[in-house]
Amino acid sequence: MILLKNLLLEVTKESVAEKFLSNLVRGTEWEDHVFIAGGYVRDQLLGSDANDIDLVVSLPDGGIKFAEWVTKKVGNYKAGSNPCIFPKFGTAKLTLNGVTYDGVDLSEVDVEVVMTRSEKYTSGSRKPDVAFGDLKADVERRDATVNSLLKKLSSGEILDLTGKGKDDLQNGILRTPLDPDETFKDDPLRILRMVRMSAKYNWKLPMFMLRSIRKNAASLKNISRERIHDEVNKMLLTNNAGKAMRLLKALKLAPFVFPSLDRIADADLAAIGTRPKDLPIRLAALFVTLPEAGKTAEVEMRNTKYDTATIQMVKMILDNYRTLSDDPDGPIKIRELVASLGENKTMQLARFLFGDAENPSTNIIRQQAQFLRDNPLPISGQDLIDMGMKPGPKFSEILSVVRKVYLSDPKTPKDQYIQVIKSHL
């Protein structure tokens, strides 16, 4: 299995891009100064597909200068756009548009490049003052030891400058390179990243880390609601979403995310990860056991700055799923749902209740939706107007009766509708 996975990794565009860049820097002034950093190195060592190549360059303004050198070297330099430069932070982003290596088109590969740096944060701000720093200072400012490993681009040598990264990766331990209070004070969002990584990889948080997270929980009030919900979304879409939600609750983080977490039983939180990996479905599963679940979800998601479309989808699920679960095979009830919500939303309710696997109830929903398409309502408001009626309360009442007859039996012939209408005039 490991051998097969390694073979698959070799053909990813990012791994080919790494080989290309490695060959590009050998024998140049950059050879001993460019390193791959962060999650890319971590995931490679874990045997997972490594995405998002982030490079650090151990020279003043090295990130910008190296990005310009690469794009000029490969012939796709374009002032102002490739590389895209952020001088305040000493970072640049380059694309490998037009580059083909080992028969692989690398045009879709983007590479982030930054100089090794030290950072100084102002209280209440996530935007640091940046200065050039050595490699050790650069890795120590990272969120976790497992993300502090470096890979020398030209040789592939792994550097563990904290002395803890390799062991922590091997043993599944999650901790900060520096004192966690200092790390979380600089950037409180790292608190949520710790929870997310612990859940995603099922890594252990040592007791001193748990204490520090609880101690610094209130600092999340300085983080934008959008950044918070982005992290929570990533947690919800992991295989261990339930563990992430239980950690948020246990570590006193709920008031800064979703306050209702404190009112949800651990067993119900654990069940979230069994739902399909669909954000609205998992958000609905989070709130579903609460009284007035739809209203509660709407209020708390608005407070955490979710977009309107996501809020409406979650509320739709929570407000309507019982109609389907009370009698999922009832054809009239299903037709009513399809007619009022549409087929896509009704299928989303089915996924929420029955999962992604084929289910008899899910098939019935498809059949009934097709039944309605094959047998459209043969009468309209215009037919009522042609019969001498004018729009108004009585008009709406009769249309409602017509709709009820239709959903009871979509094959009802038009003349029977006419008789129904006349009986109500």
pLDDT tens for residues 206-217? 999 999 999 999
**Cβ atoms within 10 Å of 319's Cβ, excluding its own:** 15
Q: Residue 360 — pLDDT band, cuts 50, 70, 90?
A: confident
Provide mean pLDDT across the span 283-310. 97
The answer to whether 212 and 184 are in contact (CB under 8 A) is yes
The answer to whether 55 and 49 are in contact (CB under 8 A) is no
Residue 386 to residues 158, 396, 397, Cα–Cα distance (Å): 81, 15, 17
Instruction: Establish whether the linkage from the previous residue to 391 is cis, with ω within 30° of 0.
Output: no
Quote the percentage of the chain above a pLDDT of 90. 71
Q: How far apart are CA 76 and CA 94, in angstroms?
A: 10
pLDDT tens for residues 11-64? 689 999 999 999 999 999 999 999 999 899 999 999 988 888 999 999 999 999
Q: List the domain boundaries for the chain.
A: 1-171, 377-425
Q: Residue 1 — pLDDT band, cuts 50, 70, 90?
A: very low
Secondary structure (DSSP) of 95-162? E-TT-EETTEE-TT-EEEEEE-EEEEPPTT-S--EEEE--HHHHHHTSS-GGG--EEETTT--EE-TT
Lowest-pLDDT choice from 89-98, 129-138, 411-420:
129-138
Secondary structure (DSSP) of 212-234? HHHHTGGGGGGS-HHHHHHHHHH
Max Cα–Cα distance, the chain, nearest Å: 93
pLDDT tens for residues 247-293? 999 999 999 999 999 999 999 999 999 999 999 999 999 999 999 99
Say whether pLDDT at 326 is over 80. Answer: no
Query: What pLDDT, on the 0 to 100 scale, is given for residue 175?
Result: 97
The answer to whether 195 and 235 are in contact (CB under 8 A) is yes
pLDDT tens for residues 340-350? 999 999 999 99
Instruction: Return the sign of the alpha-carbon dihedral for residues 14, 20, 26, 27.
Output: negative
Say whether pLDDT at 424 is over 90. Answer: no
**Residue 368, token pair as written in the block:** 């009934």
Secondary structure (DSSP) of 158-217? EE-TTS-HHHHHHHTB---SS-HHHHHHH-THHHHHHHHHHHHHT-B--HHHHHHHHHTG
Say whether pLDDT at 126 is over 90. Answer: no
Query: What pLDDT, on the 0 to 100 scale, is given for residue 3?
Result: 38
Burial of 122 (0-12, 13-18, 19+ CB in 10 A): exposed
Long-range contacts of 322-328 (CB under 8 A, 24+ apart): 324/349, 324/350, 324/353, 324/361, 325/353, 328/353, 328/354, 328/361, 328/364
The answer to whether 77 and 42 are in contact (CB under 8 A) is no
Q: 150: which strand partners?
A: 37, 159
Provide mean pLDDT across the span 169-178. 97
Q: What is the third-level CATH fold of 1-171? A: Beta Polymerase; domain 2 (3.30.460)
Query: What pLDDT, on the 0 to 100 scale, is given for residue 384?
Result: 81
> Which residue, among 235, 227, 229, has the nearest Cα to 197 in the 3D structure?
235
Say whether pLDDT at 4 is over 50. Answer: no
Query: What pLDDT, on the 0 to 100 scale, is given for residue 332?
Result: 86
Say whether pLDDT at 325 is over 90. Answer: no
The answer to whether 34 and 24 are in contact (CB under 8 A) is no
Q: How far apart are CA 61 and CA 55, in angstroms?
A: 13
Quote the percentage of the chain above a pLDDT of 70. 93
Q: Which residue bears the tokens 């791959």?
A: 36
Say whether pLDDT at 74 is over 70. Answer: yes
Segments of 265-410 assigned E as strands = none
Burial of 324 (0-12, 13-18, 19+ CB in 10 A): buried
Q: Residue 328 — pLDDT band, cuts 50, 70, 90?
A: low
The helix (run of H) or strand (run of E) holding residue 384 is helix 381-386
Q: How far apart are CA 174 and CA 204, in angstroms?
A: 6
